[in-house]
Amino acid sequence: MTPPLVLHKDISFNDRASKAIGAPLTRSTLTTLQVNLGKRCNMACLHCHVEAGPKRTEEMSVEHIDDILELLSLSPQISTLDVTGGAPELHPHFKRLVSGARDLGRRVIDRCNLSILLEPGQEDLAHFLAEQRVEVVASLPCYLEANVERQRGKGSFSKSVEGLLILNALGYGLPESGLILNLVYNPTGPSLPPPQPALEEAYHQQLKTRFGIEFNYLFTITNMPIKRFQTQLQHNGELERYQALLIDHFNSATLEGLMCRELLSVSWDGRLYDCDFNQMLELPLGAAPQNLSALLELARSQSLQHIEGAKIHTASHCFGCTAGAGSSCGGALS
Ligand code: SF4
Ligand code: SF4
């Protein structure tokens, strides 16, 4: 079992953040619901903070899927549904959730591992995503095969390339199509991501020249020293050095854009968290409501403005979001 994360005990993220902005971190208007549909995945990547894999069985109930659709129908302020997992597409009600949210006029993001597009039974997935005009955010930790395979397993790079070509063939990532295809880079080891704009340029150039692949934007994301990646760092004797690196590169300019300010993370069992990382660490939401049913009750009876200004549950791992240019589900922050 992975021991709890202990960063330098004398350095509190909350103190650092409060000092920089003159008050503790609090929530702003809720605009994004990030829903984790479960832990089942066709892959088992080394850096996976969800510890997802083919043998995991946890998945969201049908009742919770219905609750999410009702919540969206009652809450126009939630403009984005961000669907993640595991491989969210493996959930039997993935399509119903996506098309329901699209019918309600919401922007929908699918966090897709690309290889899922090639899995048996998923032959129509790419068409479905294009038809529903879902934004695809796809992990591709490098444009070099060896680096991707070290992190995601043998054969993963060619599957990613194939998946991207399938999406391109439907118009994804092409100028004028309006079908958004964004890629996600994360370092393959214990270092901070390089500057996002320069790396995006290199990705465009390499992927276009070598495979004819197009995409919209590249998001650079910092690896969180939690779960599987933490175990790997510990195994290699690199955990302390990596933790110190994150703390030493604390950048107060990232605080304003932290994703926990506008996003709520919903776990497969309906519990609520300030972000996906807190969900994996089981750090409950800084303020009531604590689960989907209570949130829906709030939306039915009054308004979600109730949770604005609520304190965010921070801990040492938060230094992973504020190091260097910062990190979020939408990439660098400053
Ligand atoms: S594809 Fe994503 S969810 Fe699946 S194991 Fe890899 S990092 Fe985890
Ligand atoms: S880990 Fe979560 S709670 Fe902490 S700063 Fe990042 S987004 Fe916010």
Query: Which domains, ranges and CATH numbers included, belong to the chain?
Result: 13-322 (3.20.20.70)
Query: Using CA atoms, how far apart are residues 182 and 211, in angstroms rounded to an integer?
Result: 17
For residue range 135-193, list pLDDT tens digits in order: 999 999 888 898 888 888 888 999 999 999 999 999 999 989 999 999 999 998 899 99
For residues 51 and 85, the answer to whether their CB atoms sit within 8 Å is no
What's the one-letter identity of residue 175? Answer: P
For residue range 215-270, list pLDDT tens digits in order: 999 999 999 999 888 999 999 999 999 999 999 999 999 999 999 999 999 999 99
Query: Using CA atoms, how far apart are residues 97 and 118, in angstroms rounded to an integer?
Result: 21
Residue from 223, 275, 317, 327 whose mutation best tests the ligand 2 pocket (most atoms within 8 A of CB): 275
Does residue 112 have its Cβ closer than 6 Å to ligand 1? Answer: no
- State in Å: Cα 57 to ligand 1 middle: 14
The pTM of the full predicted model, rounded to 2 decimals, is 0.94
- State in Å: Cα 303 to ligand 1 middle: 35
In Å, what is the CA distance from 182 to each residue of 36, 69, 90, 168, 267? 19, 25, 21, 12, 24
For residue 332 the two structure tokens come to: 């660098």
Cβ neighbours of residue 146 closer than 8 Å, sequence gap 6 or more: none
DSSP string, 128-191: HHHHTTPEEEEE-S-SSHHHHHHHH-TTHHHHHHHHHHHHHHTTTT-TTT---EEEEE--SSSS
For residue 60 the two structure tokens come to: 């969201």
Q: How confident is the model at residue 1 (pLDDT cuts 50, 70, 90)?
A: very low
Length in residues, the chain? 334
Does residue 274 have its Cβ closer than 6 Å to ligand 2? Answer: yes
